[in-house]
Chain A
Amino acid sequence: MRAVCWNGKKDVRVETVPDPEIINPRDAIVKTELTAICGSDLHLYNGNIPTMKAGDILGHEFLGEVVEVGRGVSNLQIGDRVIVPFPIACGNCYYCAHELFSFCDNSNPNGGLTETFYGQPAGGLFGYSHLLGGYAGGQAEYVRVPFADVGPVKIPQDISAEKTLFLTDIFPTGYQAAEYCGIRPGDTVAVWGCGPVGQFAIRSAYLLGAERVIGIDRIPERLELARQSSAAIPLNYENVPIAEELREITGGRGPDACIDAVGLEAHGFGLTGWYDTAKQKLWLETDRPTALRQAIYACSKGGTVSIPGVYGGGFVDKFPIGAAFAKGLTLRMGQTHVQKYAKRLLSMIEADEIDPSFVITHRLSLEEAPWGYEVFNNKEEECIKVVLKC
């Protein structure tokens, strides 16, 4: 089959690789219909995530048809059309049993490594470094889906793939970020970053009852999309002082909730062997959590700062803990528990409450993936979201 392989920094190639096979009883094989490049894939593209190996298959947003199931999978039939959530979750551990699917204790075969970095093992993800499982990803014609009896959600044949594909990641991620804000009617929410996740956070905040949502970015077309399709108030941080502007808009109170949909260029914190390298990199990156600092500074007293943006495992410099403490802020964050939201959000799509395809700007073939990465990474051609047809 053809698959998008990572070969090093800014080097992705479409290669012919062996087809995946069922390995464990609860596996299924999905034939990809549509897949996408995620903003977090750019962290891999730029070589910022450790434990990638040349030849790793990328991708964690994919939709397709079940072509084979293991004997432990009874809820899926061959021919079913499914979306596959990006976190792999066993469904049996304490966290899965409590709908905290992305915290799965068991899905990451390299859990021991993450335990060293984070104090607890992190769950496995598709196509996202060996630290997070080393699973072959979804930018491929076929994908092996572990614990297929837990993750995949069936999609009716009559809904377009473009409408449902983002149930795998960015729509639930934006939705969870907004839900974490504990929005009450009349609230104002500010969202840093109007990339795909930011767009869905803005839309979800409105769906959850916010009165005003402010979108903050520097790229005109992203601000314009937020304004046009979700009625956000756009703020370009290159043109206006954000904190002052937000205070003014909110009558001096600051937004009730702030969402950091930017994240850090996620820096993994290396094995002991390259501890120093990582540290060095982090020193070079001290200015990166700008959005998070601004969000904490701007937020109202007693407000919530919700962080869907990826922070990989590094440390953040000059974290404004004083402001957070003084205002008694609540911080919510973490990978998305996609399995918890996918069905609920699918019914919203079916009821025409939202059409997630509004973020798509580039429709390419799988073979054109390297170009897709380049354009998305450089934010050329007003690129916001790239989907790849298989």
Chain B
Amino acid sequence: MYQGRSEVLRPAPDDVRPPRSDDVNLAAVERGISAACGTLLVLSGLRRRSLPMLIGGSALIYRGATGVCPVYRAIESQAGGPLSDGLQVEEAITVNKPPETVYALWRRLENLPRFMSHIESVTVTVGNQSHWVAKLPAPLRLEWDAEIVDDQENKKLSWQSLPGSRIDHSGTVLFHFVPSRNSTEVKVILTFKPPAGSVGASIARLLNFLTKTQIRSDLRAFKAVAETGEKPTTIGQPSGRWPKRIGKRRRDPASAARQDLISHSSSSSSEATQWKAQ
């Protein structure tokens, strides 16, 4: 995984050397078992003239002999590599809105939890500084303070955790106007690094969760909200799956309309404020 497509998901630059594809990643016992099973498979493959068995067996023998398992390697790097390295994720998406709008949505950092699934809340404290809380299952907890270090209107936004934080986190968002589509390319670069020698449970958990796939999905959510004003979902819709909440019945249309007006007036204000650009 460290060759080719995963370039985007790699340890932060000044970390220890990333694992290479020929690094041994199997323990001696597993190598032995692998080689033995492989030999058995090849032998019975020869007897039954089965090509798949021969191929599978050979792969196991190779794995045992070299101590290198590409599957494990792939799994490791999907999880962001060895945890102590921290990680850097880059992702990009095109939003069908001009840079002014897209920049404004990011610049208001309180908006981030609405689409960044690893962030519980961001609160602007004073000036360019803000307080961040990661979304982790209880009792894990991870908070830090950050400040905006580079702010170029409609072009670039960078933040960095303050010295002394439990996690070294930085984020950069670049906004690039695409005139032919009247759209904005948004490129996000996030780095997360635990301070040397201290991989706490919360940090490990957060880094495990932050895969390229997850950030991509978050950006898709950002795009949806920026373009449509809402996040498409099917959560809460009916199905025939257990447990069925049978008994819920439609109100008659007239009373539904009245109820609707009431519930909307109360909920709309909170949602609107959440999504206002600065």
List chain A positions with a Cβ less than 8 A from chain B: 1, 3, 5, 7, 13, 15-26, 29, 31, 53-57, 67-72, 78-79, 88, 90-94, 97, 105-109, 111-112, 115, 121, 124, 133-136, 140, 142, 144, 146-147
Contact = CB atoms under 8 A, between A and B. Distances in A.
Nearest to A22: B260
27 contacts: A1-B249, A5-B239, A7-B240, A15-B240, A17-B246, A18-B248, A21-B236, A22-B260, A23-B233, A25-B264, A26-B228, A31-B250, A54-B240, A55-B241, A67-B250, A68-B256, A68-B260, A71-B268, A79-B253, A93-B96, A93-B227, A106-B232, A107-B232, A112-B220, A121-B220, A133-B232, A136-B234
Contacts of A146: 232
A324 B256 CA distance: 57
B217 interface: yes
A31 B220 CA distance: 31
Contacts of A23: 233, 235-237
Contact of B217 (A13, A71, A112, A136): A112
Given A19-B250, A94-B96, A111-B220, A56 B239 contact: yes
B231 A24 contact: yes
A109 to B, nearest CB: 5
A33 to B, nearest CB: 14
Contacts of B268: 25, 71
**Nearest 8 CB-CB pairs, A to B?**
A55-B241, A5-B240, A55-B240, A71-B264, A92-B227, A106-B224, A18-B248, A90-B228
Given A92-B227, A106-B227, A109-B234, A97 B96 contact: yes
Q: Which of A3, A55, A88 has the most CB of B within 10 A?
A: A55
B213 interface: yes
A18 B244 contact: yes
B239 A108 contact: no
A147 B227 CA distance: 12
A147 to B, nearest CB: 7
A133 B96 contact: no
Interface residues of B, number: 40
B200 interface: no
Given A68-B260, A106-B223, A124-B232, 9 more contacts: A5-B240, A71-B268, A78-B257, A79-B253, A90-B228, A106-B228, A135-B234, A136-B239, A147-B228
Interface of B: 94, 96, 181, 183, 213, 216-217, 220, 223-224, 227-242, 244-250, 253, 256-257, 260, 264, 268, 271
B234 to A, nearest CB: 5
A26 B229 CA distance: 9
A24 B233 contact: yes
A22 B237 CA distance: 9
B7 to A, nearest CB: 18
Given A17-B239, A18-B245, A109 B232 contact: yes
A27 to B, nearest CB: 9
A134 B239 CA distance: 10
A1 B250 contact: yes
A147 B233 CA distance: 11
Contacts of A53: 239, 241
A21 B96 CA distance: 29
Nearest to B268: A71
Contacts of B94: 94
A17 B238 contact: yes
A69 B229 contact: no
A146 B228 CA distance: 11
Contact of A94 (B181, B248, B250): B181
Contacts of A106: 223-224, 227-228, 232
A112 B216 contact: yes
A16 B216 contact: no
B234 A72 contact: no
Given A3-B240, A18-B244, A94-B181, A108 B216 contact: no
A106 B219 CA distance: 11
Q: Which of B228, B235, B242, B244 has the most CB of A within 10 A?
A: B228
